[in-house]
């Protein structure tokens, strides 16, 4: 676990804003009929125009700039020739690197008209993230974040993916500590002032069980019911977490259609 200096936090903040704005740029193009590879190309161009490089492309051999996961795909979907359809939900996870530090954020988008039960899943998954931000405080423990997410989403009958977790962020994309979305209040690593973490609920409409696709990357729900995923990067502080990435740019683009 590496606590960040003030200067390092500002480097991370710069990257966090880049990924936040990249997701907003991608949001302008999410509609029925668009190919996921097109969204990936838009993101890569935007990131490079900002003087950064894609953080995921080539990471452990991943081929894309974005992880684009549709419907029952939880995370790590590979961009390609798939065409988005009306009623889909698409989780887009974006990373970048600039000045030796990473940015990392994710948002789940409805495509066209989406079933009300799926929209509820998106809203509540996002809400669980914001509730978790409130306990990302110095002296709290990882389990306080984990239990906050779990207790909220399970109250609606949803399930929490166990195999995939949030993480620390800095010069590496995945640093300690792991930040699970399930756990017991008061348990786990104590949060230190200046610790930078990514909180990212991955919540399923059906079973918590997941499987990996033959491509070696894409993780999908076992029962093929939809999943939702949101991610923000925050600095643990005493009074209130310093949230480095933001959904505000995305929601300016989405307007009345944003997930509230």
179: three-class secondary structure by DSSP: strand
Of 28, 56, 42, whose CA–CA distance to 250 is shortest?
A: 28
DSSP for 88-116 reads -EEEEEEEEEETTEEEEEEEEEE-SS--H
Beta-sheet strand order (sheet of 175-179): 175-179, 166-168, 196-199, 232-235, 242-243
Cα–Cα dist 120/123, whole Å: 5
Domain boundaries, the chain: 6-255
> What CATH class is the domain 6-255?
alpha beta
Q: How far is CA 62 from CA 18, 128, 156, in A?
A: 20, 28, 34
Q: How far is CA 195 from CA 14, 167, 257, in A?
A: 16, 11, 34
- Are residues 110 and 164 in contact, defined by beta-carbon separation less than 8 angstroms? no
Q: What is the pLDDT along the chain (260 residues), one digit of tens a residue?
A: 889 999 999 999 999 999 999 999 999 999 999 999 999 999 999 999 999 999 999 999 999 999 999 999 999 999 999 999 999 999 999 999 999 999 999 999 999 999 999 999 999 999 999 999 999 999 999 999 999 999 999 999 999 999 999 999 999 999 999 999 999 999 999 999 999 999 999 999 999 999 999 999 999 999 999 999 999 999 999 999 999 999 999 999 998 666 76
pTM above 0.95, yes or no: yes
């Amino acid at each position: 676990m590496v606590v960040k200096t003030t200067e390092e936090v500002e480097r991370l903040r710069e990257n966090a804003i880049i990924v936040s704005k990249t997701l907003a740029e991608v949001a302008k193009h999410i509609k029925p009929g668009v190919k996921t590879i097109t969204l990936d190309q838009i993101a890569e161009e935007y990131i490079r125009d900002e003087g950064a490089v894609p953080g995921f492309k080539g990471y452990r051999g991943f081929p894309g700039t974005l992880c684009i996961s549709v419907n029952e795909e939880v995370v790590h979907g590979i961009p390609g020739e798939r065409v988005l359809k009306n009623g889909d939900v698409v989780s887009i996870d974006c990373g970048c690197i600039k000045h030796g530090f990473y940015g990392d954020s994710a948002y789940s988008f409805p495509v066209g008209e989406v079933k009300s039960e799926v929209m509820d899943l998106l809203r509540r998954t996002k809400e669980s993230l914001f509730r978790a931000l409130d306990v990302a405080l110095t002296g709290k423990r990882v389990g306080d974040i984990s239990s906050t997410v779990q207790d909220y989403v399970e109250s609606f009958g949803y399930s929490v993916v166990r195999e995939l977790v949030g993480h620390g962020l800095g010069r590496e994309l995945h640093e300690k500590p792991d930040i699970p979305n399930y756990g017991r209040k008061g348990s786990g690593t104590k949060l230190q002032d200046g610790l930078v973490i990514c909180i990212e609920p991955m919540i399923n409409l059906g079973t918590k069980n997941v499987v990996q696709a033959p491509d070696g990357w894409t993780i999908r729900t076992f029962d093929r019911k939809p999943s939702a995923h949101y991610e923000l990067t925050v600095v643990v502080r005493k009074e209130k977490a310093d949230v480095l990435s933001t959904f505000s740019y995305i929601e300016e683009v989405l307007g009345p259609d944003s997930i509230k």
